[in-house]
Amino acid sequence: MNICVTLPDWVDAVARPGTVCATDEEKMAIAVALARENMSRGGGPFGAVVFHRPSGRLVSGGVNLVLQSGLSSFHAEITTLSAAQTRLGRYDLSADGGHELVTSSEPCAMCLGAVLWSGVKRVVCGACCDAARAIGFDEGPVFPESWAYLRRAGIEVVEGVLCEEAEAVLKRYKEQGGVVYNA
Ligand SMILES: [Zn+2]
């Protein structure tokens, strides 16, 4: 049996591998554009991007694929980290000067764990998890201690980058009656 998840072709068009971004805002704008595009195509309103830290080079984007795949674990952070690891041919993203994950919404409990195992050394978040909860998504057991654990593991966390734009996508999803699949 194969468990197969295909990242849609349009993801590379919105988040072009090799694109160089200098600021967190530039990087987040791409993650939010992925979230918006995925929503417009019937997916969940979440997007993320992995960048190579020293160069600011985009490795891979990704989007939430729960609705498209029928698989509950394929949140944007999971597909994005998996896409970057596949593209680079290794499971450890701490190599080669390190990588960072830029995500349109703060990670849920599962994705916080995935961040830790991926080896990324920096996480940049857009919408706060209260914004996701406000439209009905359950973030799971995320506590202040969860974030402290990541920081102690040497992962820098940046919150609230372009949060208004990121939260606008979530609000739009609710307004158009989008499916809340883990409530
Ligand atoms: Zn998640």
C-alpha dihedral, 141 to 80 to 105 to 151, nearest 10°:
60
pLDDT confidence band for 2 (50 / 70 / 90): very high
CA–centroid distance, residue 44 to ligand 1 (Å): 11
> Is 179 part of a structural domain of the chain?
no
Q: How far is the CA of 43 from the centre of ligand 1 (A)?
A: 14
How would residue 51 be classed by pLDDT, with cut points 50, 70 and 90?
very high
Residue 3 included in any domain: no
> What integer is the mean pLDDT of 151-171?
96
Would you name the residues annotated as active-site residues?
77
pLDDT value for 130: 84
Domains of the chain: total: 1
Q: pLDDT, tens digit, for every residue of 17-29? A: 999 999 999 999 9
Query: At 169, which CATH number?
Result: 3.40.140.10
Q: How confident is residue 183, by pLDDT bands cut at 50, 70 and 90?
A: low
CB 142 within 8 A of CB 98: no
Tell me the CA–centroid distance for residue 75 and ligand 1, in Å: 5
Residues β-bridged to residue 170:
none
Q: How far is the CA of 123 from the centre of ligand 1 (A)?
A: 13
Q: Which domain holds residue 97?
A: 13-174
Is the residue at 141 inside a domain?
Answer: yes
Q: Between helices 76-88 and 24-40, what is the axis angle to 10°?
A: 110
Q: How far is the CA of 115 from the centre of ligand 1 (A)?
A: 10
Question: Is 2 part of a structural domain of the chain?
Answer: no
**How far, in Å, CA of 81 to CA of 183, rounded?**
24
Q: Is the pLDDT of residue 134 over 80?
A: yes
As given in the structure block, the two tokens for residue 109 are: 């409990």
**Ligand 1 centre from 18 Cα, in Å?**
25
Helix (H) or strand (E) holding 125: strand 122-127
The tokens describing 20, both together, are 């160089």
